[in-house]
Chains A and B, each alone.
Chain A
Amino acid sequence: MVVDELSEPDIDRLFQAFADSTRRDIVRRVTVESYSVSGLAALYDMSFAAVQKHVAVLERAALVSKEKHGREQLVRANHEGLHKARQLLSEYEAIWHQRAARIADILAQG
């Protein structure tokens, strides 16, 4: 099972990549369609260099890859990296833990 072969540094990189809201947003966008770095930079209130840095973090975590397309570099989801399904399922698990806690709060209110 490939996903069990992730090393500690791999997992750290993945968690680090997910720890920032801009990076999560970038991943969310490039799973739908490819973006150039400048296209991504236009979406956020930060410098081109800052966005480039976020993309580099995501690239190291194997969540996105860059592909030359004419004169532009397109950022797209790295589907192999995304197959780190166990980690993803853990994140999904966290979402449901949070949902269950919110449901309990609603029910406690009557």
Chain B
Amino acid sequence: MTVVSSTKNPEALSFTIVSEFAAGVERVWQIWADPRQLERWWGPPTWPATFEHFDFKRGGKIAYFMTGPDGEKARGWWHITAVAAPHMLELDDGFADENGDHVDAMGVTRMTVTLEDFGDSTRMTVSSVFETAEQMEQMIAMGMEEGMGQALGQIDAILAGQSVS
């Protein structure tokens, strides 16, 4: 079981997920610190992420875009606010327009990542705090896998069928 727990706090618009991975802490750190590895998991297969500019240090700016099914691009940026390899990373995640300029009106997600060394395994805790619900909405629209949507659609169809019969 990869995910140990997840906690939602709607009033604070915050979310925390704890996962455990069967790899050492240095290795797990690489999935954040190496943009080529980050690209393999940040976006879903239907919205893969490409990190263009990657200044992975305190105060550093990171620019990325996600490419949708029809080739449309959704741009985002990170601003690294704290980093202590291989245990802690703090960043602000925001939206950008097609020129890469920040869209401040959409708000910023503050993310905190901590990695705990359990020897052969590593516990990763990711906390996200959103400023607005609509910002969360857009993140979700971009981040959700096609398969997830289909699964939800199937559940809905089953529920609809039950209410008819």
Q: Which A residues fall within an 8 A CB radius of B?
A: 1, 3, 12, 15-16, 18-21, 24-25, 27-28, 31-32, 63, 77, 79, 82-86, 88-104, 106-108
Given contacts A77-B134, A90-B8, 15 further A-B contacts (CB under 8 A): A1-B10, A15-B155, A16-B152, A21-B149, A24-B141, A79-B134, A84-B133, A89-B10, A89-B15, A92-B128, A93-B17, A94-B148, A103-B41, A103-B124, A104-B2
Say yes or no: is B69 at the interface (Cβ < 8 Å to chain A).
Answer: yes
Say yes or no: is B153 at the interface (Cβ < 8 Å to chain A).
Answer: yes
- Distance (whole angstroms) from the CB of B136 to the closest CB of chain A: 5
User: Digit string of B36-61 for contact with A (CB within 8 Å is 1, else 0)?
Assistant: 01001110101000000000000000
Residue of A nearest to B153 (CB): A19
Q: Are A31 and B106 in contact (CB under 8 A)?
A: yes
Residue of A nearest to B147 (CB): A98
Residue of A27, A86, A91, A107 near B21 (CB, 8 A) is A107
Q: Which B residues fall within an 8 A CB radius of A?
A: 2-3, 6, 8-11, 13, 15, 17, 19, 21-23, 27-28, 31, 37, 40-42, 44, 46, 68-69, 72, 74, 95, 103, 106, 124, 126, 128, 133-146, 148-150, 152-153, 155-156, 159-160
A contact residues around B153 at 8 Å (CB): 15-16, 19-20
